[in-house]
Amino acid sequence: MKDKWIFVLFALVFLAAYFIPFNQLRIQNSIAEAFLLLQEYARQHVLLCLIPAFFIAGAISVFIRQGAVIKYFGAQAKKIISYSIASVSGAILAVCSCTVLPIFAGIYTRGAGIGPATAFLYSGPAINILAIILTAKVLGYRLGFARALGAIIFSVVIGLIMHSLFNREDEKTRNKSGLADVEETKDPRPMWKTILYFAVMIGILVFINWGKSDSALKIWYFIYQAKWFIGAFLSIALVWMIMTWFKKEELKEWILSTWIFAKQILPLLFAGVLVAGFLLGRPGQEGLIPSQWVAKIVGGNSLGSTLFASVAGALMYFATLTEIPILEGLLGAGMGQGPALALLLAGPALSLPNMLVIRSIIGTKKTLVYILLVVIMATVSGLIYGAIVT
């Protein structure tokens, strides 16, 4: 860091220390809320949910060969296949949000063109495995599922619209040299072993987080009571697989990848939780921002509040996963379910900084159309979801 920036930082800390009225009850409350929310995350979400999710994300980046997926993004690939793969492959390819933009640039300039590229750009951040797991755990299964489904369906719609608007002018300038074939090393395991290994890891995550449900629903309640047995059984199976199917080198790579993700994401999430707690408080409590304001602007499922949530989400920058505590705070303060989904869809897909990067790749006109489409689609999904839920 340059000295100039360190000085600016010092000045900001000084001004904050000088001017913030810490003796006011509201500020004191908000600070307490920030740490109480952090504690809630630490107690409820870290050990059983975040840590297993990081291991799964690490495993995806080490054990799943991307080449197999990427060849469907080539210029020669069938259009239906490119779109379907583009809309769902974020789950595998976008484990870390910083990989979305290079892949987008690659698909656009060298591969299947603007349609699949924008489809990937829209769905990638929403269906990356960490985001889905944490959304479902913190905000509930319904919203987690709606987020994934909304992202997948509407990414195809956006891609098709972008394709029909711009493909003709792109065709003239596009470089058709295609993508390079990278000689990939052969998979050291048969496919079924890899699949089983992932299934067991996801199974562990799902079962140990199984929520308590109405005891009238016999099967769900039975699973709830047996969740530790199922979790322990699956863990033993996982340990056996790790010991017999994998080489020591591979396991080292797995741990390293997991650690890289954790190192990259956890500090930002930690900061995000503190900020969300400070501004909005835990669900049912109030932070710095009065709940009535939130309820007034994004409460209910009206067109106005849903549209506001999409536009705000499109402009705001969310570091990976921080959209979740912020949304938890907003929901607790009275935000409607529809606007919540709209924010979840528009938020991670767009932000001011990444608009600038997208513009440098596809130009101003296409970027503006893309932003407009994202806002419209997020609003529409929010309205539909809001109408279904209420």
Partner 1 sequence: MEIRILGPGCPRCGEVEKRTINALAELNVSADVQKVTDLKQIAEYKIIGTPGLVINGKIKSSGRIPSLQEIKNWIQKEL
Q: How far is the CB of 183 from partner 1 (least distance, A)?
A: 8
Q: Of 350, 356, 354, 357, nearest to 373 (Cα)?
A: 350
Residue nearer to partner 1 on the CB measure, 100 or 234: 100
Q: Give the SS3 label for residue 259.
A: helix
Q: Of 311, 323, 317, 319, nearest to 356 (Cα)?
A: 317
Q: How far is the CB of 261 from partner 1 (least distance, A)?
A: 8
Q: Give Cβ neighbours of residue 281 (< 8 Å, ≥ 6 apart).
A: 29, 30, 33, 37, 287, 329, 332, 333
Residue nearer to partner 1 on the CB measure, 99 or 235: 99
The rounded Cα 324 to chain-centroid distance in angstroms is 9
Q: Of 179, 222, 207, 169, nearest to 67 (Cα)?
A: 179
Distance, in Å, from the CA atom of 250 to the CA atom of 260, rounded to the nearest integer, reads 15
Q: How far is the CB of 54 from partner 1 (least distance, A)?
A: 13
Q: How far is the CB of 175 from partner 1 (least distance, A)?
A: 9
Binding site for partner 1 (CB under 8 A): 61-62, 65-67, 70, 73, 93, 96, 98-99, 101-103, 105-111, 177-180, 182, 185, 249, 253, 256-257, 260, 263-264, 357, 360-361
Q: How far is the CB of 99 from partner 1 (least distance, A)?
A: 6
Residue 74 dihedral angles phi and psi, to the nearest 5°: -65, 165
Residue nearer to partner 1 on the CB measure, 49 or 107: 107
Q: How far is the CB of 288 from partner 1 (least distance, A)?
A: 33
Residue nearer to partner 1 on the CB measure, 29 or 66: 66
Residue nearer to partner 1 on the CB measure, 112 or 133: 112
Count helices and strands (H / E) in the chain.
20, 0
Residue nearer to partner 1 on the CB measure, 93 or 373: 93
Q: Give the SS3 label for residue 151.
A: helix
Q: How far is the CB of 115 from partner 1 (least distance, A)?
A: 16
> What is the DSSP secondary structure assignment for residue 189, as one 8-state letter?
S
Residue nearer to partner 1 on the CB measure, 66 or 209: 66
Q: Of 196, 179, 181, nearest to 63 (Cα)?
A: 196
